Chain A
Amino acid sequence: MDSTEDGSQGVLVDLSDVSLADLPELDQSAFAWSLRRILEEVDRPRDAVAGWNSAM
């Protein structure tokens, strides 16, 4: 599915039907961290702003 000026979803990765129930609680991989972050963001959306990238 491509995204163009009409705002369709393009390259976004589809999370439908993904179950995290089997993601081991102790899974500390970057993938697991990333899934937990997006789920938290989806449950508690905040307006994100972009910070400066020349400092940590």
Chain B
Amino acid sequence: MTVPGDGRGAAVADRPAPARPVPFSEFILKVHSRCNLACDYCYMYELADRSARTDPPRMSPEVFARTCWRIGEHVRTHGLDAARVVLHGGEPLLVGAPALARMADRLRAAVRPATARITVQTNGTRLDEPALSALVGAGVRIGVSLDGDRTANDRHRRYASGRGSFDQVDAALRRLADRPEAYAGILCVVDLAADPLDTYAALLAYRPPVVDFLLPHANWESPPARPDGDDTGYGRWLARVFDAWYDAPVRRTRVRLFEELINLLLGGASRTESLGLSPVAAVVVNTDGGYEQVDTLRSSYPGAVDTDLTVFAHSFDEVLRHPAVAARQAGVSALAAGCRACPVHRVCGGGNYPHRYRAGSFTNPSVYCHDLRLLIDHVAGRLRADLVGLRGRDG
């Protein structure tokens, strides 16, 4: 098959920002606001906004019932055929796996005849065999957070006592690897102190279907650690993992960040808020029933996530009209002038929103700007070289 020119891909990339709000299709439910770990980079407890410390520890039955009703209302209002629900925390397994399984059943019933794809994102420390079986039985998929091998993981992901969490998470991931139907993947936060190839190899050992690498939460007020002062250090780290992933003759796992980056470079659209200009269709419901913007904004300043809207008084459509939510669906017009003038802005998208914060504003390039530019240029170079090879074969 020959692709006729680049116009088709460009047509995808150049789609204008939506004139009307895009309905939410991903609902993140904070079912438990506390955590049994005390990771030093946690945006819920360790960064700028620590209000989670005073949130109700657990989502009450009343809040959960009302949230189910609101999700059903939104799905029917917009004729959605599917909703994605993430049971999150804190640590969601603190409510117990049987309770999560019952929640999954209630959510499915609430959106019928649409389908609900339900995921639990856990730190893995409580994912023992009974918990895993309960979740698998309820059709819940499980994502686990792990930062690499024991040394890398336990540098940050520790109990309050200082003890590392690796042993429990390692055991959980071994169990999960044997239940591929329930295995959503592994989330890994980049740490420059860890070797990128060792980190990637450590994750691959658990046979994850998908991996994603997240840049540590940071912004211009609270910049990321750069031990050697190199403002492209994170980009170089990721580029080394990219090469290992990309050069494998058989793709051993999907890597969300890299796949979305390639798709953007080829003229497609992104499905992650980390890159690109696709409208963000995710919303958070807190344990108290308050709607929040994607809660990683807690890393920027106190109150950054608040909308003052709740499941008891407001619909998800009213949340869509909130100015801060609308800004996440505004595409290129929400970017800083410097980003709009940047040659890679349609691919980069200005970076992850919380990373742009400076002095009360998100209209700035990402604090990872140089890292993103390096990674994008690196991946574009690799793609171009391979496409030359493909053209050569055809000619």
Contacts and interface: CB of A to CB of B under 8 A. Distances in A.
B266 interface: yes
Contacts of A7: 14
A50 B12 contact: no
B310 interface: no
A11 B119 contact: no
B362 interface: no
Interface stretch (B50-58, B130-138, B277-285): B277-285
Interface in B373-395: 376-377, 380, 383-384, 386-387, 390-391, 393-394
A39 B2 CA distance: 10
Contact of B249 (A18, A28, A34): A28
B214 A54 contact: yes
Nearest to A41: B268
B13 A16 contact: no
Given A22-B394, A31-B246, A49 B280 contact: yes
Give the secondary structure class of B's interface: mixed
B67 interface: no
A33 B249 CA distance: 11
A23 B391 CA distance: 10
A51 B26 contact: yes
B28 interface: yes
Interface string B233-251: 0000000000001101111
Give the secondary structure class of A's interface: loop
B388 to A, nearest CB: 10
B203 interface: no
Contacts of B5: 15-16
A42 B267 contact: yes
A52 B245 contact: no
Interface string B299-338: 0000000000000000000000000000000000000000
A28 B247 CA distance: 11
Interface stretch (B99-107, B164-172, B257-265): B257-265
B4 A54 contact: no
Given A39-B3, A52-B28, A56-B184, A28 B251 contact: yes
B279 A50 contact: yes
Contacts of A35: 266
Given A30-B258, A34-B266, A55-B28, A19 B2 contact: yes
Contacts of B18: 47
Nearest to B340: A5
A4 B295 CA distance: 31
Contacts of B187: 54-56
A24 B112 CA distance: 42
Contact of A55 (B143, B246, B380): B143
B1 A56 contact: no
Contacts of A33: 251, 259
14 contacts: A10-B347, A12-B265, A12-B267, A17-B2, A18-B387, A18-B390, A20-B390, A21-B1, A29-B250, A37-B268, A38-B267, A50-B276, A53-B214, A53-B273
Which 6 pairs show the lowest CB-CB distances between chains A and B?
A56-B143, A48-B269, A19-B394, A49-B281, A56-B185, A56-B184
Given A10-B345, A15-B267, A47-B22, 10 more contacts: A4-B343, A17-B3, A17-B394, A22-B390, A49-B22, A50-B280, A55-B86, A55-B184, A56-B184, A56-B186
Interface of B: 1-6, 8-15, 18, 22, 25-26, 28, 84, 86, 88, 119, 121, 141, 143, 184-187, 210, 212, 214, 245-246, 248-251, 255-256, 258-259, 262-263, 265-274, 276, 278-282, 294-296, 340-347, 352, 376-377, 380, 383-384, 386-387, 390-391, 393-394
